[in-house]
Structure 1
Amino acid sequence: MARRFQAALMAALLAFGAAHAAMPNIAADVPGARVAGQGGFTWFGMKIYDARLWVGDAGYVPDAPFALELRYARTLSGARIAEASAGQMEKTGGGTPAQRAAWLNQMRAIFPDVKEGSSITGVFLPGGAVRFHLDGADLGTIAEPGFAQAFAGIWLSPRTTAPRLREALLKEAARR
């Protein structure tokens, strides 16, 4: 009986550790990647996704690499994700109308349809590029001026429409 309990406890601890280990696509670009914070996003009571902010040794610093991971709780089209992202950029003051229109076209080309359990990760690289992944597989990169700041601002700007999620994501984002 004690051995079964120990085995179950060990399995649970390993599973918990794996859930917080950076995927290779994050670890490759964010040295020392760790979860700074996480939280869920709901819309009219419906859970849309869980978000995690991954930071490196420097913590959350906009010019240091970091990653935002969204694990979806429902099926959504890539076009809808792109449109919602552009709308949130507008609400947070990200970019000009012309920039947002160009970014929307790029996001529509990159963002895939997702189902429950799918994860899209944006890895924010020094210099302003964002490399996107679906469940670890490369989707493409957007390297337009201002895009990275506007896209990250959806979650991390003081002007975000989801301030509780922002607070949860930045909970342990300081340098270590």
Structure 2
Amino acid sequence: MHRLIVVIALLLTSGLAIASEKRLQEAAFAPQVTVAQTTLALRNQTVLTYLWVDVYAAALYTQAGLSPRAALADDQSKRLELYYFRDIDRSDVIKAAWVTLERQHDQQTLERLRPEIDALHEQFQSIRAGDRYALVFTPSSGLSLERNGEILFTRNDPALASAYLGIWLAPKGLSDSLRATLLADS
């Protein structure tokens, strides 16, 4: 009986890995991107699944030779790209962002960042399957939000960039497993 359970678990795990690999192929993240004259390499990618539904694929880009965790420093360029498999209403995206930010930060920090976060959220549109969003940070220009290759928002505020990228990359974020995979040393 014990062997049967182990075999079933292995089959399920391998099936999930194959499905995840197909989703990453669908997302088709570029092996490298250029941001402000700096080449960033694809470090890690993964699929966020919620209640057995693939929501999006996420990819983290950093400078070559720099570990993903080292790229979290405010003086390092980075790109977090999300490719969506599902339609999501903009109000649900904003709500999830605020729930996560409130879990990660004290009220004083959030009040200071609120005008910039609200300005960023004003640029959100409802997501359609196939949309590609990216948060890009460079020390020279700060945080940019892109949707399908178009820059929608830019602010040169390292605190905003750290807090917003932290939704995915900081402790107590949207998903511990997503964060761990994106920040793993390759």
1:28–1:129 Cα change, 3 Å: closer
**How big is the shift at 1:83?**
2.6
* Alignment TM-score, normalising by the size of structure 2: 0.71
Corresponding residue for 1:32?
Answer: 39
| Contact 2:120–2:153 under 8 Å retained in 1 | no
* Rounded Cα–Cα distance in structure 1 between residues aligned with 2:169 and 2:119: 21
Give the C-alpha shift of residue 104 in structure 1. 3.8
Q: Deviations over 1:57-110 (max 9, x none)?
A: 352322210000011111123333223212211212277231353244212211
CA shift at 1:148, angstroms?
A: 0.8
Q: How does 1:1-176 map to 2 (within 5 A)?
A: 19-22=29-32, 26-29=33-36, 31-57=38-64, 59=66, 60=68, 61=71, 62=73, 63-93=75-105, 96-126=109-139, 129-144=142-157, 146-172=159-185
Relative distance call for 1:128 and 1:158 in structure 2 (3 A) is farther
Q: Would you tell me which structure has more strand in proportion to its own residues?
A: 2
Q: Amino acid of the residue matched to residue 138 of structure 2?
A: L
Q: What CA RMSD, in Å, does the superposition of the two structures yield over aligned residues? A: 2.6
Deviations 1:37-73 (A, max 9, x none): 1112122232221100011135232221000001111
> What is aligned with 2:18?
none
CA distance 1:132–1:30, change in 2 (3 Å): farther
Question: Where does the alignment leave 5 or more consecutive residues of structure 1 unmatched?
Answer: 1-14
What is the TM-score of this pair, normalised by structure 1?
0.75
Conserved? CA contact 1:120–1:135, under 8 Å = yes
SS at match of 2:57: strand
Gaps of 5+ in 2: 1-24
Return the alpha-carbon distance in structure 2 between the equivalents of residues 82 and 105 of structure 1: 9
Q: Which amino acid aligns with 1:119?
A: R
2:29–2:59 Cα contact (<8 Å) kept: no
Q: Which has the higher helix share?
A: 2
Structure 1 runs (4+) deviating above 6 angstroms are: none
Report the Cα distance in structure 2 between the residues aligned to 1:92 and 1:111, rounded to whole angstroms.
21
In 2, Cα distance between equivalents of 1:30 and 1:112: 29
TM-fit CA distance, 1:129: 2.0
Aligned-residue offset at 1:128: 7.5
